[in-house]
Amino acid sequence: MGTTEENLREEIKSLRQEMAKVQDEIAAYRLAQKVLIEVTTGCSSRPGGIIKAALQKTLDVCADVTATEKGSLFLLDPASKKIVDAILTRTEVSPEQRTKLIGSVLDKGLAGWVSRNREIGLITDTEEDDRWLTLPNQPYIVRSALGVPIINNQNLLGIITLLHSQPNHFTDRMAESMEATAEQIGLVLENARLYGQLDTYSKALDHELEKGRQIQIDFLPYDIPKLDDWEIVACFHPAKQVAGDFYDAFTLGNDQIGLVIADVCDKGVGAALFMALFRSLIRIFSSEEDKLQATTTSINLAHEKALQAVRLTNDYVAQNHWQMSMFATLFFGVLDPKTGLLSYVNGGHEPLFIINQDGIKQTLNSTGPAVGMMPNMKFEIKEVQLEPGEILIGYTDGVTEAKCPEGKLFTDKRLKEMVEKPANSASELIGRIKNKLFDYMEDAAQFDDITMLAVRRN
């Protein structure tokens, strides 16, 4: 009987030990969960200071679950092992402390031991453990301490030091729980560090793109020519910070007016750079009309010379930048404000409409290919007459190909319905189309630049 009771006691003891192990594993798992949830929540709510938020949350959670009185967390540079950031439980490090700590190497005391050995350091009584270093004029008593290395991919990312004024406060079970969560904490800190680097890079990139956006805006006409009996209105909504669409309205010799609307293939920075190139070439070549030779006598001579800018731009881009495979659909018209005569080249662009009170009077279709695809292409020049009350309107395919939340296109049909309704001004027409278009898009993403240009003879 005695032997049976003894065996039963041993089995119960063994079972209790197993249960204690399971409880430790559950406690460690719950601690890891809490750290992950708390740190992730803190980081996402303050993306600008994501690393610091992760540090503070990590330290506070560890202090809570171990009933720590004071604690610190040092973030280390894995390569140099120097401190790059430091934080205290619920209290920011003072500027003086931060200046003293940043750039130093942890080589003494418990933190130095943990740094060298890369394992948890448990001190049950600081008076009996030479790993503890008592600093001169230390403002608080420390009798037990726990140091935890934060490691990810064999890189030492940080060290947590937890302190208490009573000996034997930190137990082996606490140390095991902290060790079980160290890997999760390291993963979070590594992700926070990488996210912080990404955030810094993203902000720098946004700053550069913002400068690019401002430069591009400067390429658009700052002052559209103001003419007696004429109204010129434009609308420009880039899909990104920089765009491939552009429009222009500028004065040529003999008080003629150059009108341009264009769409460079592709989007983003590359398209924006070529937009600037196309715009500059059209302006430069069209202003050198005295150096150009007319090829026909059926077109207004000054207009024909200016419109040779399309051919010259095409050849320049095709010959000098062929390897980039960049081109633009482009409409360039030259208007005589006195007579209403408009001579134009439509290089593969969307058709423009001349509108009167009865609807679409005339459609200005392509007179040549897209500009910049191949050298020595022919671009036919055509003429139309704008009568009083008529409106010329041009647009890019970002208008007709805009999508609603369900993914359906705005379409040419809807645009024609808008332009066929009578309008008392170019501003009214552009405003009507823009309102209808953005109502149709609602909160759907804008995939392409939206540009319109309208000219009305009053």
Contacts of 161 (CB under 8 A, 6+ apart): 71, 72, 73, 74, 110, 111, 145, 146, 147, 148
What pLDDT does residue 42 have?
47
Burial class (CB in 10 A: 0-12, 13-18, 19+), 294: middle
Residue 169, token pair as written in the block: 């406060």
What pLDDT does residue 46 have?
44
What domains sit in the chain, N to C, each tagged with a CATH number? 15-202 (3.30.450.40), 220-457 (3.60.40.10)
Q: Please state, in angstroms and rounded to a whole number, the distance separating the CA atoms of residues 333 and 444.
A: 34
Q: Please state, in angstroms and rounded to a whole number, the distance separating the CA atoms of residues 447 and 151.
A: 43
Burial class (CB in 10 A: 0-12, 13-18, 19+), 126: buried
Contacts of 14 (CB under 8 A, 6+ apart): none
Q: Please state, in angstroms and rounded to a whole number, the distance separating the CA atoms of residues 362 and 76.
A: 71
Is the CB of residue 263 less than 8 Å from the CB of residue 451? yes
Phi, psi of 184 (to 5 degrees): -65, -40
Burial class (CB in 10 A: 0-12, 13-18, 19+), 383: middle
What pLDDT does residue 43 have?
46
Over the chain (458 residues), the average pLDDT of each successive run of 10 is 65 66 56 53 48 72 86 83 78 61 73 91 93 78 92 86 93 83 72 71 72 69 89 90 85 94 83 86 84 61 93 95 91 97 97 95 97 95 96 96 95 94 94 96 91 96
Quick one: which H or E segment has residue 440? Answer: helix 426-441
Q: Residue 295 is which amino acid?
A: T
pTM of the complete model beyond 0.85: no
* Pairing of the two strands 328-335 and 70-76: unpaired
What DSSP character marks residue 49?
Answer: G
Q: Please state, in angstroms and rounded to a whole number, the distance separating the CA atoms of residues 403 and 447.
A: 8
Quick one: which H or E segment has residue 457? Answer: strand 450-457
* Pairing of the two strands 70-76 and 155-164: antiparallel
